[in-house]
Amino acid sequence: MARKLKIIDMSKKTVMILDANTRIALALTRDFGLKGINVITGGTSRLSRSFYSKHSKAHFLYPSKGDIHEVILFNVKKFKPDTIIPVLDNSFEIMIKNRQEYSLYTNLIPLPPYAAFNLVRDKYSLMRHASESNIQTPQTFYLNSIDEAENLKEILRYPVIIKPRLSAGGFGMDIVKSSNSLLDKIIKAKYLFYPDLDSERSLPIIQEYIEGEVVNFYAYCEKGNSKVIYMTKTIRQYPVKFGPPIAIVSIKDKIITDISINLLKSLEWEGVICLQYIIDKKDGVPKLIDANPRLWGAIEAAMVYGVNFPQMLFKKAIGEELDIEYDYSVGKKFRWILFGEAFYLLRAGNRIRTVINYLDFKNMKCEISLCDILPHFAHLLSLLINRSEVR
């Protein structure tokens, strides 16, 4: 995958995008590049898919642990971007915790207060805050010790879900069908994220298992006020039970909108956020199940259909006037065919129905770009080498 050296036109605006191996970063890289903005990408793997986009003018590696902030800051000083956009939780946290230092060398995108970010990122504190704000959630049990789980295991109504307090994309989540496997799965979730750390955050939460449609509410906020919103319903996700969406459709829902606007106001949220709900099949009530206090996996759908959250962040950072008169149409679908839907199709139980749904291309767009094909090959190679799930 050798590529020619690209010349950076320093007369143009420049954006630095982190977490280059994510589908989020690739969508941003292409979008900014097509708008004539220089894109510098940073990631932790040489096969980070955005590195191979024709829109990435330069890229750099930083470690997945250790001196992450120092390496990113070094490259900020080197490339002098007009702003820097983190993608995943860890890089967002680095930006928030070190915002004063980064602000010396670049313009900052809107970032939430650290306390609010920390609260939303942690499923334990998010569920508690929602409950205190009279927002419906699945019944949730909070653990302070393994002994508490031992006391709970015979009184829980199974199945239940084990959720690590700090995780994203469904990592570490598991369904427990009986008391026999509860403790084993709690310990597995604990050591998945904290193998060497006895932290208060190391124990997962236990949550009632709810069936129903998954709805995502996305917003751009200023001082707690939701300036721009977008909503989708999940059609398919992969991995099947807890993974990120691989097929979605745009919707509008006033009840969820009102709940979300009030929640974000109570948090005095700044910047972007995704709130995830499930509409309980038993009573039809939307219940908050998770949140991403950052850009989210399905961001490309909003961008393609005219609600471009990354561009809002960029414009706000560089002091340009922000157009907040956004609206969108319902019923617009977006799919991630490479390689989420491909893997879903291979592992589907009801193969005939899945194929029929797969071939429905009405009102649909997808992430594949035939004009920028190398990132897809890099992604496939990374999946084969690392033997990892599609996320």
Cα 183 from Cα 171, distance rounded (Å): 18
Cα 93 from Cα 319, distance rounded (Å): 23
Closest CA to 177 of 152, 157, 204, 206: 157
Q: pLDDT tens, position by position, for the chain (391 residues)?
A: 545 557 677 778 999 999 999 999 999 999 999 999 999 999 999 999 999 999 999 999 999 989 999 999 999 999 999 999 999 999 999 999 999 999 999 999 999 999 999 999 999 999 999 999 999 999 999 988 888 888 888 889 999 999 998 888 888 889 999 988 888 888 887 766 655 555 667 889 999 999 999 999 999 999 999 999 999 999 999 887 888 999 999 999 999 999 999 999 999 999 999 999 999 999 999 999 999 999 999 999 999 999 999 999 999 999 998 877 788 999 999 999 988 888 888 877 676 777 777 777 788 999 999 999 999 999 999 999 987 766 6
Contact 286, 256 (CB under 8 A): yes
Cα 380 from Cα 340, distance rounded (Å): 11
In single-letter form, the type of residue at position 30 comes to: R
**Number of Cβ atoms within 10 Å of the Cβ of 84:** 26
Closest CA to 41 of 4, 7, 84: 84
Domains defined along the chain, listed by start: 14-111 (3.40.50.20), 139-208 (3.30.1490.20), 212-386 (3.30.470.20)
**205, HSE (Cβ side, Cα atoms, 13 Å):** 21
Q: Which residues pair with 107 in a beta bridge?
A: 83
The model's pTM: 0.93
Cα 62 from Cα 305, distance rounded (Å): 33
Torsion of CA 369, 375, 380, 385, to 10 degrees: 180
Exposed, middle or buried: residue 63 (CB in 10 Å: 0-12, 13-18, 19+)? Answer: exposed
Q: Which residues pair with 248 in a beta bridge?
A: 234, 334
